[in-house]
Amino acid sequence: MSTNFNTRLRWVRRDEAAHAAAAAPLDASIEAVEELDDIRLLVQMVGEPKPDTELSVRDEAVFFLQIAAEVEHALLVQYLYALYSLNAAAGVPVISWVGVLRRIAREEMGHLVTLQNLLAALGAPPHLRRERTPAPEQLFPFPVSFEPFGLDVVKRYVVAESPQGATLPDDLADLKTTINHVGFIYMKLYWLFERTDAPEGPWRLPPDLGFESRHLDDTDFVDPLSLVDRLATAEEWAKGDMSILVLPDRPPTSLGDLRDKSLEAIFLVAAQGEGLVSQTNSHFDRFLKIYTEMKSFAGQVTLPIATNPATAPRPGATLITDPQTLAWARLANLRYEILLMEIEHALSLPRSQTSTGEDPRTNLALWAVGDNPNEMVGGMRTVARRLLGLPITTGATTMAGLPFEPPVDFLPAGERARWERHLALIQRSRELIDAINDSSLDEIRDVLDGARIPFIEQQIAANF
């Protein structure tokens, strides 16, 4: 069942619900709301997020899960770009910031995978798409932009991840009125997943919140038993690190359990990093600490890399024109596509062994983020490090970075077509690697891809 909706997000204030025009996501009145610390007044000021076309409750929940997934995906790749931009040679505290960003990026990956589990609970397919930069601002906490990790960037991260009622430094007050909270999308999801308007579960939303009384019915969920071999786990996607949120943490045993675990998952993801809910050592806490340290640090924080490097012209982008850099950037995009293809394909499959004792889903997950070398570390990181030393234009002192340009094509229908796509992407990668002719790429071609090709060819033959 297709669930890619031809609709957009709007914000509707309760007293303007009859009007199609969306209310502004945030305005200057928010400071007064924070002083009152009243979530109901906050909703009155901001409005209720709604699709701009009529959808069933189930489809509306899927719509907001897809929006949340796109936001998490966008945050993940922006944090990775920021991570790669840091000048670790500057010493402490920059080295510590590298570790913090790497950890937060892993946690965003857990959030993204958790949303795929919630989509599966409603019988919807995985959703790993994301907008190209620049993306529509109304969907995101701040405009999607790949920039070096300087003070202005950290400011946006602090505010976007700040919980309701958080005390911010005075110099961030103005940003509070312009950066949207991802937490509102999670609050709407929590409301939709509740049984009724009455408060339930860990996030005690008031019944007079100001949202329309719409909630998922038990019939909107799939049979919990069908999820046993499909739900993603921390073992699969976080190398067994149980501190990375990949929820639910065990298969549900009943419809009631499935709903309860869905509510818990939405709450915990929102608490860790998406605003409105306070939690110790949240993304907000960690970014605020970095911001405080960075203001007093005199060293060179970042490498001289471009903002929004791109392989083709588009508004707001820095076009890569140096021929060698352009070849590496195209390889980076291809490896990014391979990574997304592996994740989406894995999440579309149940865990089940073949006649040879191998599990296609497990293999795909391992190739993407599992034992080293994997695509995230052995593939993407290898190319990223090389791009950091290549000029954006010939002779320039500004270097390139990973473009993170999302693919146009996604998971095709049918297992044979999917495995053929894997093989075609690897073959295209090998052609680029041969043309670049750099020994640092030998591991990608010979180890990463060399181990995949025999298994992929087996799957193509098995699905003839």
- The encoded tokens of residue 341 equal 């293809």
Which pLDDT belongs to residue 301? Answer: 95
Q: Are residues 259 and 353 in the same domain?
A: no
The highest-confidence range among 271-285, 362-376, 423-437, by mean pLDDT, is 423-437
pLDDT at residue 59 tops 60: yes
Give the single-character DSSP code of 163.
Answer: P
Residues in the chain: 464
Q: Are residues 223 and 315 in the same domain?
A: no
Q: Are residues 226 and 357 in the same domain?
A: no
Q: 273: domain CATH number?
A: 1.20.1260.10
Q: Where a domain ends, among 231, 263, 295?
A: 295
Of 102, 155, 95, the C-alpha closest to 301 is: 95
Mean pLDDT of 153-174: 80
pLDDT in tens, 192-229: 999 999 999 999 888 888 899 999 999 999 999 999 99
- Buried b / exposed e over 299-315, threshold 16 CB at 10 Å, is eebbbebbbbbbbeeee
Q: 357: domain CATH number?
A: 1.20.1260
Residue 301 lies in a domain: no
- Give me the number of domains the chain comprises: 2
Which pLDDT belongs to residue 273? Answer: 74
Q: Are residues 171 and 200 in the same domain?
A: yes
Q: Are residues 408 and 317 in the same domain?
A: yes
Of 86, 216, 212, the C-alpha closest to 148 is: 86
Q: Are residues 283 and 341 in the same domain?
A: no
- In angstroms, the CA 163 to CA 166 distance is 6
Q: Where a domain ends, among 243, 263, 295?
A: 295
Q: Are residues 332 and 418 in the same domain?
A: yes
Q: Are residues 329 and 228 in the same domain?
A: no
Residue 304 lies in a domain: no
Residue 1 lies in a domain: no
Residue 380 lies in a domain: yes
- In angstroms, the CA 157 to CA 84 distance is 16
Q: Are residues 120 and 233 in the same domain?
A: yes
Which pLDDT belongs to residue 2? Answer: 37
Query: Quick one: residue 135, left, alpha or beta (phi over 0 = left, psi -120 to 50 = alpha)?
Result: beta
CB neighbours of 219 closer than 8 A, spacing ≥ 6? none
Q: Which of 84-93, 202-211, 291-300 has the lowest mean pLDDT?
A: 202-211
Helix (H) or strand (E) holding 50: strand 48-51
Q: Are residues 421 and 366 in the same domain?
A: yes
More confident residue, 67 or 11: 67
Residue 4 lies in a domain: no
pLDDT in tens, 306-350: 999 999 998 889 999 999 999 999 999 999 999 999 999 999 999
DSSP string, 416-451: HHHHHHHHHHHHHHHHHHHHH--GGGHIIIIIIHHH
The highest-confidence range among 146-155, 321-330, 441-450, by mean pLDDT, is 321-330
- In angstroms, the CA 171 to CA 385 distance is 34
- In angstroms, the CA 455 to CA 443 distance is 18
Of 41, 9, 46, 44, the C-alpha closest to 26 is: 46
Contact 227, 254 (CB under 8 A): no
Q: Are residues 198 and 275 in the same domain?
A: yes
Residue 303 lies in a domain: no
Residue 93: domain span: 9-295
Q: Are residues 191 and 242 in the same domain?
A: yes
* 48 beta partners: 12
Residue 54 lies in a domain: yes
Residue 223 lies in a domain: yes
Q: Where a domain ends, among 295, 330, 347?
A: 295
Which pLDDT belongs to residue 266? Answer: 95
